[in-house]
Amino acid sequence: MAELLFFSGTMDCGKSTLALQMDHNHKARGRRGVLFSSHDRAGESMISSRLGLQVPAVEVFPETDFWVELTLRQTMGARIDYVICDEAQFYTVDQIDQLARVVDEMDIDVFSFGITSDFRTRLFPGSQRLIELADRVQVLQVEALCWCGKRATHNARTVDGVMVVEGDQMVVGDVDQPLDQTLDRPFDLDAGPATGHQAGAGPAPTVGYETLCRRHHMRRQTSRTSPSLFSNEAPLPFDASPAGQLGTRGNQLQDAEPGVRS
Ligand SMILES: Nc1ncnc2c1ncn2[C@@H]1O[C@H](COP(=O)(O)OP(=O)(O)O)[C@@H](O)[C@H]1O
Ligand SMILES: Cc1cn([C@H]2C[C@H](O)[C@@H](COP(=O)(O)O)O2)c(=O)[nH]c1=O
């Protein structure tokens, strides 16, 4: 019996990689699938993984109807055993309902992948509907980490390097902006209205994302604004003797973030 599965996690935890692996494994056993995605960072009509794989996919637009799309393909003779749906957080509630119907009435497996919550910690409507309807919700095993070393559970958005909690829910972007580039690299706003940026409205803001643990998301502490607990670039202690170094460094750690390190 076909299933609706939702593989979820924070940004950068390996969802697209898993989507492409699952497609590969099912294809290797002779099953036929259709790949879908929406607003992939690498561009329209593809699924891309940070590990370097990039595979063509059908772009999902707000008006896409999965039931119609898949019925048409079958009418034209295509065999469809499964469907891969990446960036499913961007799908509409109606589209998730269509996917559930595809599972139940067409007996097609639907493997969907997406982040559950946005930069304000609120559920995306598509993800909420998947949680409501999926046969199984599976949190990915590979954990993205917060700068403090704890498991990252939340996605933070930065604009010009500063964490924000207001703005459009949907702004395509990436994590792991090197700190020295965060302020310099112009963000590609060609993607259209999803970014909320008006052409000619001055220099485009630099938007980035960072995965954080709940504590640091609530405190709005990103790696940029955190005390440099884990950085090699922490200033050397003034007292150069080994005892003095230990003492000063130890105090720095305690003062900076009580309770974060054990
Ligand atoms: N250079 C690298 N070497 C090894 N693993 C990497 C490298 N770059 C990214 N990764 C892995 O890829 C994961 C991101 O995969 P991706 O499928 O793009 O994530 P998602 O779709 O969840 O945003 C990272 O969590 C990391 O485990
Ligand atoms: C948190 C958050 C993310 N997004 C965007 C940013 C990326 O383009 C995708 C997530 O892609 P990934 O493959 O999981 O890294 O979602 C957004 O539009 N709004 C948000 O709040």
Pocket of ligand 2 (CB under 6 A): 11-12, 15-16, 41, 115, 118-119, 155, 157, 169-173, 209
State the Cα–Cα distance between residues 191 and 197, nearest whole angstrom: 10
State whether 171 and 107 are in the same domain.
no
Which residue range(s) make up the domain with 67?
Answer: 4-139
Q: Does any domain span residue 261?
A: no
pLDDT at residue number 229: 55
Note if 166 is an active site residue. no
**Ligand 1 atom nearest 9 alpha carbon:** 22
Of 92, 107, 139, the one marking the end of a domain is 139
State the Cα–Cα distance between residues 50 and 86, nearest whole angstrom: 14
State whether 92 and 219 are in the same domain.
no
Q: Does any domain span residue 203?
A: yes
State whether 213 and 244 are in the same domain.
yes
pLDDT at residue number 250: 33
Please give the tally of structural domains in the chain: 2
pLDDT at residue number 66: 98
Asked if 138 and 13 count as a contact pair (C-beta separation under 8 A), the reply is no
State whether 121 and 164 are in the same domain.
no
Ligand 1 pocket residue status of 13, Cβ below 6 Å? yes
State whether 94 and 26 are in the same domain.
yes
Q: Which residue(s) pair with 54 in the sheet?
A: 48
State whether 103 and 187 are in the same domain.
no
Going residue by residue through the chain, which has 262 residues, state the pLDDT in tens, using 9 for 90 and above: 999 999 999 999 999 999 999 999 999 999 999 999 999 999 999 999 999 999 999 999 999 999 999 999 999 999 999 999 999 999 999 999 999 999 999 999 999 999 999 999 999 999 999 999 999 999 998 889 999 999 999 999 999 999 999 999 999 999 975 544 444 443 333 333 334 445 556 778 899 999 999 999 999 999 998 875 555 444 445 454 444 444 333 333 333 333 333 2
Taking the centre of ligand 2 as the mean of its atom positions, its distance from the CA of residue 4, in whole angstroms, is 22
State whether 135 and 228 are in the same domain.
no
pLDDT at residue number 201: 63
**Ligand 2 atom nearest 170 alpha carbon:** 18
Q: Which of 102, 85, 81 is nearest to 31 (CA)?
A: 81
Taking the centre of ligand 1 as the mean of its atom positions, its distance from the CA of residue 151, in whole angstroms, is 15
**Most informative mutation of 22, 38, 51 for ligand 1 (most atoms within 8 A of CB):** 51
Q: Does any domain span residue 147?
A: no
